[in-house]
Each structure stands twice: as structure tokens, then as C-alpha cells.
């Protein structure tokens, strides 16, 4: 995007690179480029729609850390995923579907790309109703379905059961599938560590048991991968963010199955907002 270079060059004369003003202006240019001015005004300005998940909250302070993190993540994902096949489908979903579901598709794409998993988004008109087509480390192809539990949702074990049961039907008989489930931060156990150390994120035993039970009933779902985008403030590190994943494998798989191997390497790392901002200087 040559336009972005021109904007950054001009903006650097009026705002110090790395500052909140500089970063947000660059993020705004990217978001408006992909999603349009009307979408930007409707969702990302202080007078945006009250029901917009991305609407900033400056009522009690001059900055909104949550807003800063989400706009940075949205801009980076739009910029970095634009070459992935089917990316345009994600933009269409951002415009016509619930905001959190559209963001979730991009966030899962970020996780797969950053962990080296080949994938593409399913495009309109294809026979399947899942969201992704992906590959194992050995090159075996499978289907990926994304389920998003909204951040404001109250925990219910039945919602997990329904999500996995629906994904099973979407994957279809005779197919191999992975189900990604985005969970609200409030549903997980976030265990504080020492000052300056990132917290530990733990998947509650009830959710683990539900996923195991659902996989025991099918051979279609090879893996269930729970995902959370979490941010927390530490007095030493400042604002920290993570794309945390918890991968579970179907116990019915044989030792020879290519799906027994770990699909995602690791569980995610913590990055500070300061470190993220440096990428835009």
C-alpha cells in the first residue's frame, strides 16, 4: 500500500512515530481502506452506534486501552491477511454480520498464519458451510469451523455443546474437521503471577469435559481448539495482550492419524502494547 507509506511520511511531520495519535491515524487509514468510511464512522468513533463492539469508551479517561488494542489488532489483521484466499469473504461478513463474529474470523486467521498453518477462507458459493480449509503438518487437508461466543455472554455449558454439535453437522460425514471456539475472557481462569509476569490462562475443567464428551461421539471432529484474545494491565509491563489457544485432540484417533500431531505450535505468547506499537514506527 503505497498510500500508507505516503500517509506515514506526512504524518511523521506532525506526530511522533509510535505515539497514540500516530498509530491510531495509521490504523484508521488501513481500516477505512478495507471497510470504508461509513463502516469506520459507524463502529469506531466516539459517537458510533451504541451497540458496536468496537465503540471507544472515553467517559472516565482520555484513553481506552481495550479500544487501542482492538483497533491495532483489526488493522494488522486486515493488512497481513489480505493475500489469503477468501479474505474478501471476511470483509463481507464484517459488513453484514455481528461484529464479534467477523473479528473472530480474522483473529483465527492471525493465529493460523502466525503458527505456520496453511489455510484459506471458504468463499461464497462453495458446497461447504464451514469457514476454513486448512492443512496438518503432513499436508493432509481438513475443514475448519469457527464458533464465536460473544464477550458479554454469560457462561452456559449448553452453548458449548450446541456449538460443537452444530459444527459436527457442518463438517459433514466422511470429512476431517477442526472446530475453533472463541471464548470470552470472563469464562476462563486468569491466574495472576508475580509483578511483571503475564498471568496464566487456564481452561475450566467443565469446558474441557464438554469438549471431550462431544469428540467421543464423533470421528469427524479431530480437534477442538479454544481461543481467547485477552489483555491485562501490569504496573511493570504495562498493557499486555495475547492470542491464547488450548488445543484438544480426539481420543478416538489412532496413532497413525495425521491429526494426532499438534496443529498449532505452542499456546500463544504475551506481547506488550508498547512492543506492538513499535512495529508501526
Q: What is the pLDDT of residues 77-119, one digit of tens each?
A: 999 999 999 999 989 888 876 678 889 999 999 999 999 999 9
Residue 45 is predicted with a pLDDT of 80
Question: Are the CB atoms for 102 and 121 separated by under 8 Å?
Answer: no
In this predicted structure, the answer to whether residue 74 has a pLDDT above a threshold of 70 is: yes
Q: Mean pLDDT of all residues in the chain?
A: 84
Q: What angle do CA 261, 264, 270 make, to 5 degrees?
A: 145
Assess if residue 272 is contained within a domain: yes
Give the Å distances, CA to CA, from 129 to 44, 121, 144.
30, 11, 10
Assess if residue 245 is contained within a domain: yes
Assess if residue 114 is contained within a domain: no
Q: Which residue has the higher pLDDT, 265 or 158?
A: 158
**Full domain range(s) for residue 242:** 121-278
Assess if residue 208 is contained within a domain: yes
Assess if residue 249 is contained within a domain: yes
Assess if residue 54 is contained within a domain: no
Q: Work out the pLDDT band at 26, boundaries 50, 70, 90.
A: confident
Assess if residue 32 is contained within a domain: no
Count structural domains, the chain: 1
Task: Region of 45 please: left (phi>0), alpha (psi -120 to 50) or beta.
Answer: beta
User: How far apart are the C-alpha atoms of 227 and 230, rounded to whole Å?
Assistant: 10
Assess if residue 207 is contained within a domain: yes
User: How far apart are the C-alpha atoms of 263 and 223, rounded to whole Å?
Assistant: 9
Amino acid at each position: 500500500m503505497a498510500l500508507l507509506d505516503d500517509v506515514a511520511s506526512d504524518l511523521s511531520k506532525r506526530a511522533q512515530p509510535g505515539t497514540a495519535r500516530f498509530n491510531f491515524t495509521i490504523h484508521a487509514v488501513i481500516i477505512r481502506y478495507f471497510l470504508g468510511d461509513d463502516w469506520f464512522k459507524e463502529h469506531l468513533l466516539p459517537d458510533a452506534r451504541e451497540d458496536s463492539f468496537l465503540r471507544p469508551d472515553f467517559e472516565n479517561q482520555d484513553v481506552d486501552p481495550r479500544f487501542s488494542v482492538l483497533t491495532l489488532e483489526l488493522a494488522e489483521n486486515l493488512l497481513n491477511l489480505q493475500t489469503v484466499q477468501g479474505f474478501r469473504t471476511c470483509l463481507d461478513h464484517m459488513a453484514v454480520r455481528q461484529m464479534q463474529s467477523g473479528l473472530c474470523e480474522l483473529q483465527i486467521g492471525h493465529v493460523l498464519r502466525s503458527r505456520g498453518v496453511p489455510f484459506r477462507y471458504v468463499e461464497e458459493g462453495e458446497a461447504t458451510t464451514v469457514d476454513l480449509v486448512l492443512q496438518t503438518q503432513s499436508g493432509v487437508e481438513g475443514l475448519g469451523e469457527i464458533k464465536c461466543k460473544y464477550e458479554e455472554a454469560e457462561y452456559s455449558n449448553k452453548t458449548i455443546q450446541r456449538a460443537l454439535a452444530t459444527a459436527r453437522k457442518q463438517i459433514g460425514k466422511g470429512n476431517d474437521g477442526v472446530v475453533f471456539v472463541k471464548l470470552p475472557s470472563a469464562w476462563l481462569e486468569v491466574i495472576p503471577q508475580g509483578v511483571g509476569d503475564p498471568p496464566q490462562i487456564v481452561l475450566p475443567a467443565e469446558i474441557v469435559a464438554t469438549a471431550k464428551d462431544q469428540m467421543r461421539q464423533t470421528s469427524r471432529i479431530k480437534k477442538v481448539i479454544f481461543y481467547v484474545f485477552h489483555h491485562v494491565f501490569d504496573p511493570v509491563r504495562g498493557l499486555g495482550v495475547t492470542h491464547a489457544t488450548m488445543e484438544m485432540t480426539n481420543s478416538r484417533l489412532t496413532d497413525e492419524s495425521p491429526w494426532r500431531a499438534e496443529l498449532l505450535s505452542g499456546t500463544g505468547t504475551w506481547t506488550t502494547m508498547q512492543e506492538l506499537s513499535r512495529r508501526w514506527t
